[in-house]
Chain A
């Protein structure tokens, strides 16, 4: 199984400041079709997870442009350009190149 490792596991950010979460996979997520299958999900308190970013850098419908994803191969980053109070949540990266689908441990973002 592909192991997904996120750092840090928690983050305290001042509103308006940027935040960055790293995700590393134990195998390349680059598929033979040329696409890289790394997604980011956000889970706000008491809610179901929601898709933020797919295929490394594509924002899902309705996701604010302060969220961006980057990376390649085995190393990926989620950036929030200016953290807002509503961004308090746990963020997960996930690979979908192989079954079983696997997720990072989650990064808890809090507001200072």
Chain B
């Protein structure tokens, strides 16, 4: 069965960097695009970026360009995200998700990230 298992909760100080992982299993890693999204406390869903696992090409939401990077390790079928220069407003639950295509059919369990001094 398809599974996306994310790394554990993080507490960071403003200005720090964050790296999260999302280990996939149950399917051929390079057969589906992957996404990162986030959800601030009590808020809706915000899309951050997409990666094509076959070629590694990415596309990011404008608001994150310059401080957000998606990478992957095909040998372990793992997706990563890095977000730099963290701000308190980056406090959120971060989700990875698989593309069906054109819909997000499987989601990770979410990783709570708290940014606070």
Contacts and interface: CB of A to CB of B under 8 A. Distances in A.
Interface residues of A, number: 23
Interface size class of B (residues with CB under 8 A): 20 to 34
Contact of A49 (B45, B50, B59, B102): B45
B24 to A, nearest CB: 14
A101 B47 contact: yes
Contacts of A41: 45, 104
Contacts, number: 57
Contacts of A55: 102-103
Interface string A71-112: 000000000000000000000101011011111111000000
Given A37-B102, A41-B104, A55-B102, A49 B95 contact: yes
B109 A103 contact: no
Given A99-B59, A100-B61, A54 B45 contact: no
26 contacts: A39-B103, A41-B45, A48-B109, A48-B110, A49-B45, A49-B95, A49-B104, A49-B107, A50-B107, A51-B103, A51-B104, A51-B105, A54-B100, A54-B105, A55-B103, A92-B44, A92-B45, A94-B45, A96-B103, A97-B102, A99-B50, A100-B47, A101-B37, A102-B47, A103-B44, A103-B45
